[in-house]
């Protein structure tokens, strides 16, 4: 939250919906229903600490929309978790899933803890107790509500959740579908860890390939000559940076909560990551200038700024100082509604979170499908495809009377495994969704991609409410 105690992240999301709704013909009452959270669960429970002391742990699970079942959304662990934040994130999940045609309603969860202040044993007990509370209120289940990792959580926590759920529901054959983002050893899916960052990359790639949009910004199409500043070198920021770097983009700045680093000649993401593994921080990276306040890096000149940390990073206080020509929202809600108005007036091209960070939920959907179908992607047809590919390559070599180099031959023969199929599916979803919202932007003559994305989502959710008879 910002210093302004009256600020509401949830109301900010609602204001984006209101802006987009003006371009639709849906009744006002229907729009109001779409905006509201259907179910809110607030729970407290005690945690036994050392020497007989106790601490009260507070958690939330919000189900925003039941227009599709199950609902879907991550669980975050942060000292800043509050009801307004979780409601806003749950709402964004509804619109995000609708936008990329993933058949889930939106949900979100949060536990108000700072993970670094607790032992692994304590975090496990917190996770298992929170899961049991969700089970008691029917707020988790493969056909009801499917959590996933978020800020402060990861595969480890998802494995604890899955194990706890299966303990309570040992007779359910699809119990593993109760949560996604699990480790591979616990029936997770290949490509989930990279998914959000890969999705951000695919979205940025599509956006900067538009000659018309880049011409307005004074830029050339393509990622090859772009300078990039990334805020947050967590999972999303890391994989976004790695993929942009492979396409020729120059990462000139990386900001973290405790400071940042800058080098106009470029930073190697892998080397920075290794430096942090060795020292515990990205600061004092060899050859880079250390920036005391990482937030200041958001105001440095660059072609693309990627906020990949938390919400409310660009507000009315710093919006006028932003020099980036493109902002790719890899985090949820990094730009406030009032700040966006300032940025749009200044001609900044914003690729909204609603679309750009949808890679995580897309691959979570693939994992859920894998769990309820109980078969891995590619398991049945990989060898069959390899045999067909080999016959084709043999025919080409016979017809041309030449032998392909061994490496090239093996690449052509290789059948798609789980990772290749997941990544291909993710790319298809992100590419298709971008052109869908870009077409709406042009057809409805709206100023920005966010409004176009919300128009798209509202229309799809409204159809579910009206045509599927959700209203009594």
Catalytic machinery residues: 108
CB atoms within 10 A of CB 171: 6
* Residue 74 host element (H or E): strand 71-77
CA distance 266 to 426: 28
CB atoms within 10 A of CB 56: 9
- What angle, 0 to 180 degrees and rounded to 10, lies between the N-to-C axes of helices 269-279 and 235-246? 150
CA distance 234 to 357: 14
CA distance 262 to 230: 10
DSSP one-letter string for 222-240: SSTT-EEEEE--SHHHHHH
176: tokens are 């593993």
Name residues whose C-beta falls within 8 Å of residue 175's C-beta, 6 or more positions apart in sequence.
Answer: 142, 162, 165, 166, 169
Rama region for 232: left / alpha / beta (φ>0; ψ in -120 to 50; rest): left
- What angle, 0 to 180 degrees and rounded to 10, lies between the N-to-C axes of helices 382-400 and 406-413? 140
Radius of gyration of the chain (CA): 23
Residue 208: how many CA atoms within 13 Å on its side-chain side?
27
Phi, psi (degrees; rounded to nearest 5) at 219: -120, 160
Residue with tokens 């030449």: 402
Full strand arrangement of the beta sheet holding 349-351: 289-291, 259-262, 250-256, 227-231, 304-307, 326-328, 349-351
- Apex CA 97: angle with CA 95 and CA 100, to 5°? 105
* Residue 328 host element (H or E): strand 326-328
CA distance 48 to 179: 26
CA distance 426 to 362: 7
Phi, psi (degrees; rounded to nearest 5) at 171: -85, -10
CA distance 310 to 308: 7
């Amino acid at each position: 939250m910002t210093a302004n105690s009256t600020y509401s992240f949830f109301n900010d999301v609602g204001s984006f919906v209101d802006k987009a709704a003006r371009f639709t013909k849906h009744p006002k009452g229907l729009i109001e229903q779409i905006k509201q959270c259907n179910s809110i669960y607030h729970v407290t429970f005690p945690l036994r600490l050392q020497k007989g002391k106790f601490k009260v742990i507070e958690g939330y699970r919000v189900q925003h929309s039941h227009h599709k079942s199950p609902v879907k959304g991550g669980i975050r662990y942060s000292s800043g978790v509050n009801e307004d934040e979780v409601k806003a994130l749950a709402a964004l999940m509804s619109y995000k899933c609708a936008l990329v045609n993933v058949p889930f309603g939106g949900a979100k969860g949060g536990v108000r803890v700072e993970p670094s202040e607790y032992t692994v044993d304590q975090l496990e007990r917190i996770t298992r107790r929170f899961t049991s509370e969700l089970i008691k209120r029917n707020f988790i289940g493969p056909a009801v509500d499917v959590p996933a990792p978020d800020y402060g959580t990861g595969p480890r926590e998802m494995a604890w959740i899955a194990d706890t759920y299966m303990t309570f529901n040992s007779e359910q054959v699809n119990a593993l579908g109760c949560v996604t983002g699990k480790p591979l050893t616990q029936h997770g899916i290949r490509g989930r860890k990279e998914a959000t960052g890969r999705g951000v990359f695919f979205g940025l790639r599509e956006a900067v390939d538009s000659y018309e949009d880049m011409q307005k910004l004074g830029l050339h199409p393509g990622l090859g000559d772009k300078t990039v500043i990334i805020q947050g070198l967590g999972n999303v920021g890391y994989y976004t940076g790695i993929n942009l770097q492979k396409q020729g983009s120059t990462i000139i700045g990386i900001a973290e909560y405790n400071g940042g680093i800058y080098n106009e000649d470029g930073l190697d993401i892998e080397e920075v990551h290794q430096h942090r593994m060795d020292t515990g921080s990205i600061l004092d990276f060899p050859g880079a200038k250390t920036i005391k306040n990482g937030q200041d890096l958001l105001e440095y000149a660059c072609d693309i700024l990627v906020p990949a940390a938390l919400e409310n990073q660009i507000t009315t206080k710093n919006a006028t100082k932003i020099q980036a020509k493109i902002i790719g929202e890899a985090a949820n809600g990094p730009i406030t509604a009032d700040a966006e108005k300032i940025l749009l007036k200044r001609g900044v091209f914003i690729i909204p979170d609603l679309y750009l960070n949808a890679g995580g939920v897309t691959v979570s959907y693939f994992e859920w499908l894998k769990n309820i179908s109980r078969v891995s992607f590619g398991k049945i047809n990989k060898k069959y495809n390899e045999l067909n590919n080999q016959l084709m390559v043999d025919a080409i070599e016979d017809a041309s009377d030449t032998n392909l180099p061994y490496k090239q031959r093996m690449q052509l023969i290789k059948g798609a495994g789980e990772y290749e199929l997941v990544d291909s599916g993710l790319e298809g979803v992100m590419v298709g969704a971008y052109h869908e919202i870009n077409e709406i932007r042009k057809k409805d003559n709206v100023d920005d991609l966010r409004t176009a994305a919300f128009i798209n989502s509202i229309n799809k959710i409204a159809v579910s409410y009206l045509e599927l008879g959700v209203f009594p």
